[in-house]
Structure 1
Amino acid sequence: MSKRILLLTFFYPPDLSAGSFRALALVEALRRRAGADIQIDVLTTQPNRYACHASEVDSSEESPGLYVRRVHLPQMREGFVGQAISFWRYARRVRCLTTAGNYDLVVATSSRLMTAVLGAWVAYRRKAQLYLDIRDIFVENLNVLFPRWVAAPLRWTFGSLERSAIVRADRVSLVSRGFLGYFQPRYPMRHFPVFSNGVDETFVRFTADMQKALPRPVTEPVQVLYAGNLGDGQGMHLILPELARRLRGRAHFRVVGAGGRLEPLREALRSMGLDNVDLFSPVAREQLLEFYREADVLFLHLNDYPAFKRVLPSKLFEYAATGKPIWAGVAGYAAEFVAAEVADAAVFAPCDIQGALDSFERLALQSSDRSDFVCRYARTRIMNEMAQDILQLLEPA
């Protein structure tokens, strides 16, 4: 008799996000390893990450061994309150849709904690086992999002919710080894396997194509690409305008993305009269690959927040797979990872303008062979290992 797995993920393709691509890769890995022995039900949302890339798709899809149900939500608004409202509506529908379900295992992949809490609640209600895939440290980030007098009670509240979910789970995995410094002291009796985002198959193929292509000569202005979210966490509005001003004539920036700090970034560029920065809305992956091909340097930046010293940006794996030089404003574990694992990358401290300029001068403007990195961090391999970790919960005791 086949086992039934419920996967809770707020984002799922065709939505554009690291969590979306990770969830799909996990579903594919589970189906490869278990085959007809499992039925996977995915409860997710209609695409809503970016207003400019939102599109209504079928509310349900069914194929042998897989059922995907998408909950319709209003376009997700920026900010804590808007995101909380969107999640509440998702949680309400999940509650209704799982009322009659009999699940052997609930898997929740969670960045903002509450999907993990929702997974714990459903697992308890349906008497199922629980596997949590933790992709961010929400409680620690509250100090960044709110003033101290607001953050303190929120930390107590969400800390209690985090504890209840972690303790309830049969197994918990983390997306970054940097998270161990937060979770291990708080839950010393628990083992936390780490499964990073890795390089997905699209970029594995892209790497092979780039290695066959003729080298592209680099001339000034150097074409610098940033592709990703534009929120407080990335802090692009704090560093890019001044970098663009100081590198005028030497570098041309292309920014592909959207987020809560897009307008402040746009306004800063406008007020400084900069003409060497082009802003583009989020694009599908096929179009994004063209941006990568045309770039000379790939730019990455995280804001100067203590909590971000634990994270490992998923975008870093995409960037590394292209073989292009990487110019990264990161600290903590991400900086250590780049130094140890990624050839031809120049790192500077977040929000440090002079440090960024100095590191730009150190960049070797040529493509590198990072095939070993791509092989080592291939998402297919990582997700196969994660799927095995999950499926062990369904084995007879």
Structure 2
Amino acid sequence: MPKRILLLTFFYPPDISAGSFRSRALTEALLERSADDVQIDVITTQPNRYHSHITDAKTVEEDDRFRIRRIQLPLHKSGFLDQAKAFISFAFHASRFASESRYDVVVATSSRLMTAVLGSWVARRQHARLYLDIRDIFVENLGELFSAPLSKSLTLFFGTFERWAIKRADKVNLVTAGFLGYFQPKYPRQRFSLYSNGVDDDFVDFPLAASTGAGAGQPLRILYAGNVGDGQGLHLIIPALAKRLGGQVHFRIVGAGGRLPALRKAVVANELQNVEITAPVAREQLLDLYQQADVLFLHLNDFNAFKRVLPSKLFEYAATGKPIWAGVAGYAADFVIAEILNATVYAPCDIDGAVNALEQLRLEQIPRPEFTERFSRRRIMRSMADDVLELLSEAN
């Protein structure tokens, strides 16, 4: 009798996000590493990560051993309530679709906790093994995003869901070792693995430029590509840096998110001519933008919770060989210093520190083949797939 694995993920290609690329790599590895009698199902959403970059996708895609079902969500924005409504719609339909089949293992990859909770619910109903892939510490972040007493109430409320999901899981993967300090003391009996984000195949053979660095009298072309939300805090640093550095730099911000209006407002208010903001682009166009850039910019907001995270963006940035200018603290700062050549770190929201860090960069493209090999997404996901398949072999 065929065995079945269900993957629950809020994002999946053609959506563009770290979670979607990770989910695709995991399904590809599961298909490659499993026997012919193993069926892989994915329940996800229609592309919705960025409203300025929405791509049509089939509601159902099927192959011999692989099926994707995409759920159409109601229109929503990036606010907390809107996202909650969107997830409730996803959870309702995903539970209904999952009940149509019998699964041996449920895998849930989750950044904002509730997909993990959904995975736990489905696994309980089906008496299936549960594998959680945790990509953020949602409960801890609530204390930073909301003020008291609301933050305390939300932390207690969602903390109950976190315990319910984590304790039910047969295995839990953490996307960064920085999360161990939070999860291990709370769940000492749980089995944790550490399969990180990695370098996608698209970046493995990133071309070397014939010449690097801005030409004489030309501003440095500084690129940030990704989400523009509270977590990144770009509205708190980009306008100040652009004003401070003036004609020495030209910032190109490619992305969208809840803090994009605040960033635009600050750019307009300060009459900044050296900041260009564009909508998210497809991966092929993003590769071209990376080639055009002189420096790649990264910033996380000054939240204590973010001292545990490791931004997925660092992996593709590093694979390009371009100089990296990173405003990060804690585990991410230690990782950059230890693992990435020609990358400088400054404390989040520290303008003086950021300027000093920029001055320390070598404005040239330096290949990082050891990094690319060590953190190959394909290799990491093969190991993670084997971890999932161990649960499948234990299932009745």
Q: Which bin holds the TM-score, normalised by the shorter protein? A: over 0.9
Taking the TM superposition and a 5 Å limit, the aligned residue runs for 1:66-85 are: 66-85=66-85
- In the aligned structure 2, how far is the partner of 1:217 from the partner of 1:68? 44
Which residue of the partner structure matches residue 369 of structure 1? 367
Which residue of the partner structure matches residue 210 of structure 2? 214
**C-alpha contact (below 8 Å) 2:18/2:312 kept by paired residues:** yes
**C-alpha contact (below 8 Å) 1:139/1:158 kept by paired residues:** yes
Taking the TM superposition and a 5 Å limit, the aligned residue runs for 1:171-320 are: 171-206=171-206, 209-210=207-208, 213-219=209-215, 220-320=218-318
- In the aligned structure 1, how far is the partner of 2:212 from the partner of 2:270? 32
- Residue 5 of structure 2 is aligned to residue 5 of structure 1: yes
**C-alpha contact (below 8 Å) 1:6/1:40 kept by paired residues:** yes
Q: How far does the alpha carbon of each residue in 1:43-72 deviate from its partner, in whole angstroms, 9 at most, with x for none?
A: 000001111111332100001100000000
- In the aligned structure 2, how far is the partner of 1:87 from the partner of 1:9? 11
Where structure 2 has 5 or more consecutive residues not aligned to the other structure, the ranges are: none
Q: How far apart are 1:396 and its partner, in Å?
A: 4.3
Identity of aligned residues (%): 60
- In the aligned structure 2, how far is the partner of 1:35 from the partner of 1:14? 27
**C-alpha contact (below 8 Å) 1:49/1:76 kept by paired residues:** no
For these two proteins, the number of residue pairs brought into alignment is 393
Q: Which amino acid in 2 is paired with 1:143?
A: G
Where structure 1 has 5 or more consecutive residues not aligned to the other structure, the ranges are: none
- In the aligned structure 1, how far is the partner of 2:118 from the partner of 2:41? 15
- In the aligned structure 2, how far is the partner of 1:394 from the partner of 1:294? 45
**C-alpha contact (below 8 Å) 1:101/1:126 kept by paired residues:** no
**C-alpha contact (below 8 Å) 2:214/2:220 kept by paired residues:** yes
Which residue of the partner structure matches residue 383 of structure 2? 385
**C-alpha contact (below 8 Å) 1:130/1:168 kept by paired residues:** yes
TM (norm. structure 2) is 0.97
Q: How far apart are 1:191 and its partner, in Å?
A: 2.5
Which residue of the partner structure matches residue 36 of structure 2? 36
**C-alpha contact (below 8 Å) 2:213/2:220 kept by paired residues:** no
Q: How far apart are 1:99 and its partner, in Å?
A: 2.1
- In the aligned structure 2, how far is the partner of 1:55 from the partner of 1:396? 39
**C-alpha contact (below 8 Å) 2:328/2:346 kept by paired residues:** yes
**C-alpha contact (below 8 Å) 2:212/2:363 kept by paired residues:** no
TM (norm. structure 1) is 0.97
Q: How far apart are 1:217 and its partner, in Å?
A: 4.6
Which residue of the partner structure matches residue 118 of structure 2? 118
**C-alpha contact (below 8 Å) 2:213/2:363 kept by paired residues:** no
- Residue 94 of structure 2 is aligned to residue 98 of structure 1: no
- In the aligned structure 2, how far is the partner of 1:193 from the partner of 1:393? 13
Which residue of the partner structure matches residue 395 of structure 1? 393
Q: Which amino acid in 2 is paired with 1:228?
A: G
Q: How far apart are 1:218 and its partner, in Å?
A: 2.8
- In the aligned structure 2, how far is the partner of 1:36 from the partner of 1:181? 39
Q: Which amino acid in 2 is paired with 1:177?
A: A
**C-alpha contact (below 8 Å) 1:51/1:75 kept by paired residues:** no
Q: Which amino acid in 2 is paired with 1:295?
A: A
SS at match of 2:310: coil
Which residue of the partner structure matches residue 329 of structure 2? 331
- In the aligned structure 2, how far is the partner of 1:396 from the partner of 1:288? 42
Q: How far apart are 1:205 and its partner, in Å?
A: 2.6
Which residue of the partner structure matches residue 357 of structure 1? 355
Cα separation, partners in 2 of 1:217 and 1:237, compared to 1, 3 Å: closer
Q: How far does the alpha carbon of each residue in 1:302-324 deviate from its partner, in whole angstroms, 9 at most, with x for none?
A: 00000000000000001000000
**C-alpha contact (below 8 Å) 2:232/2:301 kept by paired residues:** yes
**C-alpha contact (below 8 Å) 1:29/1:380 kept by paired residues:** yes
**C-alpha contact (below 8 Å) 2:3/2:38 kept by paired residues:** yes
- In the aligned structure 2, how far is the partner of 1:60 from the partner of 1:39? 15
Which residue of the partner structure matches residue 127 of structure 1? 127
Cα separation, partners in 2 of 1:217 and 1:163, compared to 1, 3 Å: closer
Q: How far apart are 1:148 and its partner, in Å?
A: 1.5
Alpha-carbon RMSD: 1.0
- In the aligned structure 1, how far is the partner of 2:367 from the partner of 2:95? 48
Q: How far apart are 1:79 and its partner, in Å?
A: 1.2
